[in-house]
Structure 1
């Protein structure tokens, strides 16, 4: 399939610059992939689509202050570093600006020298592998020097970093938020649970896949960057019982979806696991675990739109996006939500 088949025109003014308050007051588009019905709701109404015994699977990753601003040791040239993936204790895969001037052996100083990074090597995606030197606790230094890595299409500064975290964020490690989860409030989650729905956590630390555009003509030629995931035995058991009982698994976002589908077998069963996944889901893929998808409205020609198109069908997905533009839904990270049943 061609990347152009996933393009659409999006007016810039529909790109949300700040989150809705309260979070669950965002708009919600409901899509029934069997009947092709499309309805406009409010996100908190999502509770109406659950049945007792269903399971809501959410990604409990927590965004770290992954953007660092420093200078080259010796020359003083400015360098921006975006942490993507922890390779070893003090070794990370990163993106750097300006990339052409940050070569192997370059040393970058952050703050007053509290943190120093040395470039060890280049990566096949144009990034770098760096090793940090510091005294103290790395997480505390990062909290002091780092900034929240908002996507480039969000130009308005956040009043509070917590607005770019889900209310259930727990495990540090992401370079971007699992944004479908930003719609949930504690009270909405309570209402869902009171309906007899299981709520389970899994983890996928969001990395380069979120930032990397599709630069090939044929989507089959695109390589996904691997991201780290974890599924506990307790979560796996609840998900498997849900499937055995004939109930539905709702995935919150593309990150939860990719994790579940990466570990699911042909019968839709999952198991306790941890590791790395580079699964790329696009039309033609047959879902094994996920029965309902909760997501945001994504960028044109993105791997995320391709995943949604694989779930809903490309024509229905693009029809829904066309309606969303006409009805002025809010797009991207702080935008409105969609549930596909």
Structure 2
């Protein structure tokens, strides 16, 4: 399949630049996987589509305020460091801009010297390995000095960092939010539980590779980025129990979906497990665990629109996306939601 098979026209004004103040008031498009029929709802109506005995699987990762703006020691030149991954020796793999100022041995300061950084090596892909100097707890220093690493298509400044976190976020480590989960409120989750739907939590730390475009014409030649995931025994037992009793497994977001499909065996069973996944799901893939999916509207020609096309069929998805454009749904991270039932 060609990457252009997943293109669609999207007016720039439909790219949401800010989150809604009331999370569950976003619009919800409901797409029937079998028939392609479309309904237009509000997100809190998701309750009407969840049945007692179903299991909702949510990604409890928490976004690090991983964007640091500082200055180079000596010259005072402005620098930006984006944290990607913490290494075992307490260094970080990072993206540094501008790269020409980030040679090995270069030092930078942030927040009047509260945090200092030194480039210790440069990787083949251009990413820098950085060692930080600070007093106290790194996460607390980062919380004071860091900004949220919003996707490049969001131009407006985010006033409240928590609006780019899910209400159930817990495990710090993501460079981007699992955005389908941004629509849930604590009150809505309580109503879902009261309905007899199980809430199961797993962790996948979202990497910036999620925004990396597919640059090859033939999608099968695309190399996926790798992301860390973790599933507990409690979550695995809950999912397997749901499957045995005939309930549906409903993934909240493509990150939960990719984790479940990484761990699941041919019978749709999962087990306690952690590791790194680079699973690439596109049409032709047979889902093993996920029955239904709550997700946002994704970028043209992205791996994420390929993933949802594998669940519903490319033509149904592109028809739904064209309908969303016509109906002026809000797209991408802070946009509206879609339920593939």
TM-score normalised to structure 1 length = 0.96
1:313 maps to 313
1:152 maps to 152
- SS of match in other structure, 1:88: coil
Compute the displacement of 1:136 (Å). 1.8
- SS of match in other structure, 1:13: helix
Structure 1 segment 68-79 matched on structure 2, within 5 A: 68-79=68-79
Q: Which moved more, 1:258-267 or 1:218-227?
A: 218-227
Compute the displacement of 1:251 (Å). 0.3
Q: List alignment gaps of at least 5 residues for structure 2.
A: none
1:16 maps to 16
1:340 maps to 340
- SS of match in other structure, 2:79: strand
- SS of match in other structure, 2:87: strand
2:249 maps to 249
Distance 2:312 2:126 in 1: 33
Compute the displacement of 1:245 (Å). 1.4
Compute the displacement of 1:159 (Å). 2.4
Task: Answer yes or no: is the 8 Å Cα contact 2:176–2:208 preserved in 1.
Answer: no
2:136 maps to 136
- SS of match in other structure, 2:289: coil
Compute the displacement of 1:298 (Å). 0.7
Compute the displacement of 1:163 (Å). 0.9
Q: Tell me how large the CA RMSD over aligned residues is.
A: 1.4
- SS of match in other structure, 2:136: coil
Distance 2:119 2:301 in 1: 32
Compute the displacement of 1:123 (Å). 3.3
1:297 maps to 297
Structure 1 segment 129-278 matched on structure 2, within 5 A: 129-278=129-278
Compute the displacement of 1:204 (Å). 0.7
Distance 1:168 1:329 in 2: 25
Compute the displacement of 1:60 (Å). 0.6
Q: Which moved more, 1:294-303 or 1:144-153?
A: 144-153
Structure 1 segment 55-94 matched on structure 2, within 5 A: 55-94=55-94
1:33 maps to 33
Compute the displacement of 1:155 (Å). 1.6
Task: Answer yes or no: is the 8 Å Cα contact 2:210–2:225 preserved in 1.
Answer: no
Deviations 1:4-49 (A, max 9, x none): 1111111011011111231111110111111221111111111111
Q: List alignment gaps of at least 5 residues for structure 1.
A: none
Deviations 1:50-89 (A, max 9, x none): 1111000001111111000122233322211111111225
Compute the displacement of 1:293 (Å). 0.4
Compute the displacement of 1:108 (Å). 2.3
Aligned residues: 341
Distance 1:259 1:62 in 2: 16
CA separation of 1:216/1:120 partners in 2, compared to 1, >3 Å: closer, same or farther? farther
Compute the displacement of 1:124 (Å). 4.4
CA separation of 1:27/1:200 partners in 2, compared to 1, >3 Å: closer, same or farther? same
TM-score normalised to structure 2 length = 0.96
Distance 1:97 1:79 in 2: 6
CA separation of 1:287/1:107 partners in 2, compared to 1, >3 Å: closer, same or farther? same
